[in-house]
Amino acid sequence: MQTKKCEPCPLNCELCSSATVCNKCNFGFITTIQGTCTGTMVRKYCKDGAFVDCDKNLTSECDCGTAINCESCTEANNTCLTCLPSVVKGGNGVCNICVPGFKIIGVMCWPDDQVGRVTNNLSGGIIAGIILGTLACICGVGAIVFFVIKNKRCKTIP
């Protein structure tokens, strides 16, 4: 389902699925598993706003040069030693195949329930107001038509 409504992507984001979820960050930034963009530092990842050494259960990919979706790097820092939990290595040794229940958007794997998710930013009160306003307009037009027809009938009767 598409809303055909344009919204800006989050800061430093190249590709997003909503105004709050980034699927691919601009060059120089990495995408966290929560869909936000953060800066990079070789063989480090961003944890709670600070760069720490890459290890298990990362919240963003480890910066291994040009390699993507890394949980840990090789000594040369140009390929993944291990992949993020939602990704496995393909035949070429690159972390680029999503595990079941995930789909690739941009260069990262995201849970199927986030793929194509459409959010409605209108609250129930706003929707009710729109409906009531529309009904009031329809009733107003109906009343005007009724009185115009009634006045014409009254004028034509001698």
For 59-104, the pLDDT digits (tens) are 677 777 778 888 888 877 778 888 888 899 887 888 889 999 998 8
* 118 pLDDT more than 50: no
Same domain for 55 and 91, yes or no, is yes
Mean pLDDT over all residues of the chain?
Answer: 77
Any domain includes 45: yes
pTM over cut 0.75: no
46 pLDDT band, cuts 50/70/90, is low
Helix (H, G, I), strand (E, B) or coil at 153: helix
Give which of 118, 115, 121 is closest to 23, Cα–Cα.
Answer: 115
Query: What's the total number of domains in the chain?
Result: 2
| Higher pLDDT among residues 119 and 43, named by residue | 43
What is the distance between the alpha carbons of residues 40 and 152, in angstroms, rounded to a whole number? Answer: 77
**Confidence band, pLDDT 50/70/90 cuts, at residue 149:** confident
Whether residue 26 is found in the same domain as residue 96: yes
In a domain, 53, yes or no: yes
Q: Which residue has the higher pLDDT, 119 or 30?
A: 30
Q: Which domain holds residue 91?
A: 13-114
Residue 25 belongs to what H/E stretch? strand 22-25
Residue with tokens 């595990």: 99
- 94, 32: one domain: yes
Cross-strand partners of 126: none
Q: What six digits make up the tokens of 94?
A: 């690159």
Q: Are residues 29 and 75 in the same domain?
A: yes
Q: Would 7 be classed as within a structural domain?
A: no
Q: How many CB atoms lie within 10 A of CB 23?
A: 21
Dihedral sign, Cα of residue 117, residue 118, residue 124, residue 125? positive
The answer to whether residues 63 and 74 touch, using CB atoms and an 8 Å cutoff, is no
Is residue 77 one of the residues assigned to a domain? yes
Please tell me the distance from the alpha carbon of residue 83 to that of residue 95, in angstroms, as a whole number.
6
